[in-house]
Amino acid sequence: MKVFNTLSRKKEEFVPLEPGKVRMYVCGPTVYNFIHIGNARPMIVFDTVRRYFEYKGYDVNYVSNFTDVDDKIINKAIEEGVDSSVISERYIAECKKDMEGMNVKPATTHPLATEEIHGMVAMIETLIEKGYAYKAADGTVYYRTRKFKDYGKLSHKNLEDLQAGHREIKVVGEKEDELDFVLWKPKKDGEPYWESPWCKGRPGWHIECSVMAKHYLGDEIDIHAGGEDLIFPHHENEIAQSEAANGREFSKYWMHNAFLNIDNRKMSKSLGNFFTVREISEKYDLQVLRFFMLSAHYRSPLNFSAELMEASKNGLVRILTAVERLDGLLSSAAEAEPGERENAVRSQMKALVEKYEAAMEDDFNTADAISAVFEMVKLANTSVDETSSRALVEYVKGTVEALCDVLGIITEKKEELLDADIEALIEERQQARKDRNFARADEIRDTLAAKGILLKDTREGVKWTRA
Ligand code: AMP
Ligand code: ZN
């Protein structure tokens, strides 16, 4: 299996540290709001990587954190006049709902930064003892960047370039050098804080991940992953911390997904051009979002647009309809010996499974893997029918289902109505009433009632609830 490694900028053969096992750490979101669809990209991509390893028989220990102490969380807590844990707990719960909707498996462990402070203090102490960190007079602890000889190896930057980038910036506080970064900082009024040997305060962001990876996966891990914006400085600093403290190579492979854009522009909160996963879920089943994300290779930028979502929806429906048809055939399929024709279909299916696997083994090319699934669907639609043996129908259906499962696509058709569908039906019912077409209006009410949607006519208009 080939994996593109940001460290070497090459596709490398994947060799696990321990045979049959994969230790994987994926940087998770900062929980101060609903996650947006950009945050969903690494979740979906690396969940698919995990699923493929599991399909190949690996035992995957998958760790993904929630960053639950951060300026953005603190600001939101101040805004709402609540404790910052109220904010982080709320958005962790919401994030988990979104993950479930996107069929992202829960991690083996989802550590919280605030529950790992002890480990962070211990790692910072080790770094100070080894001369890689120092305490400034105000209690801030900095990492001595220049002391770490390999600094820049992941982002392929050299210290001179970094230095040039800093020329305009004055040395703040008591840093020995402008390249030094924060490991521990003193508390400000109203902020959450913890005791430490240096001052009452809280950890820097980078130390969190070094410590959570060490705690749950050990000093050396197979894969460390996240969005490409994390390469520098976050992952570069994680390497500096972990390798200096543990004296071992931190992660063998570093994987980074490219960004999700909107209308060909960078999606960002400051530009206001972003959608939350929750907003998308009002219009689409989140399976469609997942399918859309996997329609491109994870290292290619991907543009989000209504047209592409519609195309993904149609593609997904094509697969689900084919599986439904195969399921229907099963009820009447006969126990029969396979003839020559069936053997030919089987060998075509086997060739397509190989094509799918070859795509996934080539640095998880999900776009090509999906093409192989479409070819299977076409084969099933044209070559499997009422005359096929039960064994063949089962084999074709089972194969398509298993390969979709690796992509996290649930092949069973859902009957559930989306909010947008419900609202469209309610609007149609209002129009039918205006047109005095009461038969249609009643029909819509009954259709909705059958799906557990209750309508209530109020003075402000029609309100609906799920039963
Ligand atoms: P954050 O909450 O900003 O730390 O981001 C959580 C994860 O989402 C990180 O792995 C980011 O790299 C990733 N991410 C944020 N925005 C995007 C985007 N527009 N496209 C792809 N990944 C993103
Ligand atoms: Zn991280």
| CATH (domain of 246) | 3.40.50.620
C-alpha 330 – ligand 1 centre gap (Å): 44
| CATH (domain of 363) | 1.10.730.10
Q: Can you give the pLDDT at residue 336?
A: 86
Q: Is 65 close to ligand 1, i.e. is its CB under 6 Å away?
A: no
Nearest CA to ligand 1 atom 7: 39
296 and 339 within one domain: yes
C-alpha 38 – ligand 1 centre gap (Å): 6
Nearest CA to ligand 1 atom 8: 39
158 and 94 within one domain: yes
Q: Is 68 close to ligand 1, i.e. is its CB under 6 Å away?
A: no
Task: Find how far residue 318's CA is from the centre of its chain.
Answer: 25
Do 3 and 252 form a contact (C-beta atoms < 8 A)? Answer: no
CA torsion sign for 84, 89, 94, 100 is positive
Q: Is 229 close to ligand 1, i.e. is its CB under 6 Å away?
A: yes
C-alpha 164 – ligand 2 centre gap (Å): 26
Pocket test of ligand 1: the residue of 37, 41, 104, 300 to mutate, having most ligand atoms within 8 Å of its CB, is 41
218 and 100 within one domain: yes
Q: Is 427 close to ligand 1, i.e. is its CB under 6 Å away?
A: no
Q: Is 174 close to ligand 1, i.e. is its CB under 6 Å away?
A: no
Q: 130-144, 217-231, 267-281: which has the minimum mean pLDDT?
A: 267-281
429 and 303 within one domain: no
Comparing CA positions, the residue from 216, 212, 217, 309 lying closest to residue 262 is: 309
36 and 171 within one domain: yes
Q: Within a domain: residue 423?
A: yes
Crossing angle between the packed helical segments 71-80 and 84-101, to the nearest 10 degrees: 110
CB-based burial label for 259 (10 Å; 0-12, 13-18, 19+):
middle
SS (H, E, C) the chain: CEEEECCCCEEEECCCCCCCEEEEEECCCECCCCCEHHHHHHHHHHHHHHHHHHHCCCEEEEEECEECCCHHHHHHHHHHCCCHHHHHHHHHHHHHHHHHHCCCCCCCECCEHHHCHHHHHHHHHHHHHCCCEEECCCCCEEECHHHCCCCCCCCCCCHHHHHHHCCCCCCCCCCCCCCCEEEEEECCCCCCCECCCCCCEEECHHHHHHHHHHHHHCCCEEEEEEEHHHHHHHHHHHHHHHHHHHCCCCEEEEEEECCEEECCEECCCCCCCCCEHHHHHHHCCHHHHHHHHHCCCCCCCEEECHHHHHHHHHHHHHHHHHHHHHHHHHCCCECCCCCHHHHHHHHHHHHHHHHHHHHHHECCCHHHHHHHHHHHHHHHHHHCCCCCEHHHHHHHHHHHHHHHHHCCCCCCCCCCCCHHHHHHHHHHHHHHHHCCCHHHHHHHHHHHHHCCEEEEEECCEEEEEEC
What separation in angstroms does the CA of 259 have from each of 54, 229, 262, 268, 304? 26, 8, 10, 10, 10
Q: Can you give the pLDDT at residue 128?
A: 98
Q: Can you give the pLDDT at residue 224?
A: 98
Q: Is 230 close to ligand 1, i.e. is its CB under 6 Å away?
A: yes
112 and 194 within one domain: yes
Q: Can you give the pLDDT at residue 322?
A: 97
Q: Can you give the pLDDT at residue 463?
A: 86
423 and 402 within one domain: no
Closest-lying ligand to the alpha carbon of 267? 1
325 and 250 within one domain: no
333 and 253 within one domain: no
- Phi first, then psi: give them for residue 164, nearest 5 degrees: -60, -40
% pLDDT > 90, the chain: 83
Q: Can you give the pLDDT at residue 267?
A: 84
Q: Can you give the pLDDT at residue 165?
A: 66
Nearest CA to ligand 1 atom 21: 259
Q: Is 193 close to ligand 1, i.e. is its CB under 6 Å away?
A: no
174 and 29 within one domain: yes
% pLDDT > 70, the chain: 97
Q: 38-47, 74-83, 156-165, 425-434: which has the minimum mean pLDDT?
A: 156-165
- Contacts of residue 107, defined as CB under 8 A and 6 or more positions apart, other chains included, come to 26, 62, 63, 64
Crossing angle between the packed helical segments 286-294 and 37-55, to the nearest 10 degrees: 70
Q: Within a domain: residue 267?
A: no
Q: Can you give the pLDDT at residue 449?
A: 87
Q: Within a domain: residue 270?
A: no
pLDDT confidence of 166, banded at 50, 70, 90?
low
Task: Find how far residue 369's CA is from the centre of its chain.
Answer: 19
Pocket test of ligand 1: the residue of 26, 31, 39 to mutate, having most ligand atoms within 8 Å of its CB, is 39
Nearest CA to ligand 1 atom 2: 29
More confident residue, 467 or 423: 423
The position carrying tokens 């707990």 is 89
Q: Can you give the pLDDT at residue 265?
A: 85
Which domain does 457 fall in, by range?
Answer: 419-466
Question: Given the CA of residue 268, which atom of ligand 1 is nearest to it?
Answer: 19
Q: Can you give the pLDDT at residue 173?
A: 63
313 and 282 within one domain: yes
Comparing CA positions, the residue from 251, 240, 183 lying closest to residue 214 is: 251
Q: Is 38 close to ligand 1, i.e. is its CB under 6 Å away?
A: yes
Q: Is 407 close to ligand 1, i.e. is its CB under 6 Å away?
A: no
> For residue 233, is the peptide bond before it cis, meaning its omega torsion is within 30 degrees of 0?
yes
Comparing CA positions, the residue from 137, 147, 138 lying closest to residue 177 is: 147
How far is it, in rounded angstroms, from Cα 325 to Cα 181? 59
pLDDT tens digits along 231-288: 999 999 999 999 999 999 999 999 999 999 998 888 877 788 899 999 999 999 999 9
Q: Is 333 close to ligand 1, i.e. is its CB under 6 Å away?
A: no
Of the residues 225, 257, 289, which one is the last residue of a structural domain? 257
Residue 170, pLDDT above cutoff 60: no
Residue 97, pLDDT above cutoff 60: yes
The average confidence (pLDDT) of the chain is 94
Question: Given the CA of residue 274, which atom of ligand 1 is nearest to it?
Answer: 19
What separation in angstroms does the CA of 204 have from each of 187, 209, 255, 285? 12, 10, 23, 37
Amino acid identity of residue 430, one-letter, is: Q
426 and 398 within one domain: no
Q: Within a domain: residue 206?
A: yes
Q: Within a domain: residue 263?
A: no
Quote the number of domains for the chain. Answer: 3
pLDDT tens digits along 363-401: 999 999 999 999 999 999 999 999 999 999 999 999 999
